[in-house]
Amino acid sequence: MTAGERRERALVEYRKKLMEHKEIDAKLKKMREELKDLQKDFDKSENDLKALQSVGQIVGEMLKQLTDEKFIVKASNGPRYVVGCRRQIDRAKLVPGTRVALDMTTLTIMRCLPREVDPLVYKMSHEDPGDVKYSSVGGLSEQIRQLREVIELPLINPELFLRVGKF
């Protein structure tokens, strides 16, 4: 075997090892990302579990931030408290009006809660009445007359109500 052939074979082996290294490096990056995602899921599960195991929580509303560590919170049962906050909570989310869960024993902010929405109001806000005319509503002629009298008439003829003094 000549020196050129040995050199060529060494280059081929080197390229093969280089490709293996790149593949293993890509697998390592992928596994690290998976680990990061799993760690995030684990931390969330731990926080949820701690919340379930805790004594109890009071729902409150953030009123004001006094210092970096102290907040004024109005509890759902009435009184206002100066409270602390867990380290894991993002302070940027603690703005006036934010709903929070307070630990019942220490009155510490345990987590931020989603905005309270009445489910009935939420459902109604997404309803589209469509193109419904009074003529499409059957059997409610008296109620339709009352609606027109109370809502439409003052808008169409405001001078009638100015004379009466109701507008």
The pTM of this model reads 0.41
d(CA 116, CA 121): 11
Contact between residue 60 and residue 99 where contact means Cβ atoms under 8 Å apart: yes
Sign of the alpha-carbon torsion through 142, 122, 78, 104? positive
Give the mean pLDDT of the chain: 84
d(CA 41, CA 35): 10
Contact between residue 17 and residue 9 where contact means Cβ atoms under 8 Å apart: no
**Which of 43, 94, 44 lies closest to 66, judged by CA?**
94
**What's the whole-number mean pLDDT along residues 162-166?**
65
**pLDDT of 167:** 47
The token pair that represents 8 in the structure block: 């060529």
44 vs 158, more confident: 44
Of the pLDDT bands very low, low, confident and very high (cuts 50, 70, 90), residue 18 is very high
Phi and psi, residue 99, nearest 5°: -80, 135
Q: What is the dihedral of CA 69, 109, 90, 113, to 10 degrees?
A: -150
Q: What is the pLDDT of residues 20-61, one digit of tens each?
A: 999 999 999 999 999 999 999 999 988 888 777 766 788 888
Cβ of 103: how many Cβ atoms within 10 Å?
A: 19
Q: What is the pLDDT of residues 90-147, one digit of tens each?
A: 888 888 888 898 888 888 888 888 877 656 655 555 556 677 777 777 778 888 888 8
Contact between residue 79 and residue 72 where contact means Cβ atoms under 8 Å apart: no
**pLDDT of 154:** 83
